[in-house]
Amino acid sequence: GENVEQHPSTLSVQEGDSAVIKCTYSDSASNYFPWYKQELGKRPQLIIDIRSNVGEKKDQRIAVTLNKTAKHFSLHITETQPEDSAVYFCAANGPDSNYQLIWGAGTKLIIKP
């Protein structure tokens, strides 16, 4: 079945710098890759997603890139701000026969003032 690995587990960056979080997946049939942001004690919220028919997607300070050949995708946050501090999860959809999301273990992003 699908397996999603996420790195790093913790990332500390200076306010204003960029942050990059990387994920790999194992199932070549996966075609949907969402990124969720979860603040402490709150629900996961979708911040951006990408489908396998594109290689990059951007939304203001957030971008996601997808390399289908290498089976990895990355989240890029530019000009980081204190409110970007949270745990970020990548995910991939499961095989054709089911509809679950397989999640990475999460990256705790700390923005230093």
Partner 1 sequence: GAGVSQTPSNKVTEKGKYVELRCDPISGHTALYWYRQSLGQGPEFLIYFQGTGAADDSGLPNDRFFAVRPEGSVSTLKIQRTERGDSAVYLCASSLWGGRDTEAFFGQGTRLTVV
Residues that bind partner 1 (CB under 8 A): 6, 31-32, 34, 36, 42-46, 49, 51, 89, 91, 93-94, 96, 98-106
Contact between 24 and 4 (Cβ < 8 Å): yes
For residue 97, the tally of other CB atoms under 10 A from its CB is 6
Nearer to partner 1 by Cβ, of 85 and 93: the residue is 93
**Angle, CA 60 vertex, CA 49 and CA 20 arms, to 5°:** 65
State the minimum distance, in angstroms, from the CB of residue 44 to partner 1. Answer: 5
State the minimum distance, in angstroms, from the CB of residue 102 to partner 1. Answer: 7
Nearer to partner 1 by Cβ, of 54 and 81: the residue is 54
Residue burial 27-44, b: 16+ Cβ < 10 Å; e: rest = beebeebbbbbeeeeeeb
State the minimum distance, in angstroms, from the CB of residue 10 to partner 1. Answer: 11
